[in-house]
Amino acid sequence: MNSITSIFKEKRLKLTPQRIAVYKYLQSTKKHPSAEIIYKALQEDYPTMSLATVYKALKTLADVNLVEELNVGEGNFRYDSNVTAHPHIQCISCGKVEDIDNVTFSDLNIRVKEFTEYEVLTNKIYFYGICKSCKEKVVAVESN
Ligand SMILES: [Zn+2]
Ligand SMILES: [Zn+2]
């Protein structure tokens, strides 16, 4: 884990309890929550923290590369504390966003580099589909 303390120190940013709380929450989940969900989840422990503070904390964390902003096309961002490049898949039925493990970008990056002669720095890939549990629900409705 990248030490949030040393990164903030290096960037001369103030390590506020709110920023730590937002980062810790993101590390505790694999659900790629939006700012609103993080805000609601932290309400109990940080009742005075506003949604705007959560947004600002997320922006700061993203600026120093401790969290990744995911734009799956919903009009707002999702957040991930796993900043190692990995693809995501979203269920178009229930909206959940999951990591695709065991799929790496290295082959794709090499091919893109070959075809375009670009120096590939990063990529963001989103897949869309219907998750297993939503698929089962559809089957259950159809068989009734
Ligand atoms: Zn689903
Ligand atoms: Zn992820």
Rounded CA gap, 61 and 16, in Å? Answer: 12
Distance 44 CA to ligand 2 centre (A): 25
Q: Identify which of 11-15, 82-86, 129-133, 138-142 has the greatest average pLDDT.
A: 129-133
* Nearest ligand to residue 91 Cα: 1
Distance 96 CA to ligand 1 centre (A): 6
pLDDT at residue 144, as a whole number: 63
Q: What DSSP letter does each residue of 66-98 carry, written as one string?
A: SSEEE--SSSS-EEES--S---EEEETTT--EE
pLDDT-based confidence at residue 1 (cuts at 50, 70, 90) = very low
7-46: pLDDT as tens digits = 999 999 999 999 999 999 999 999 999 999 999 999 999 9
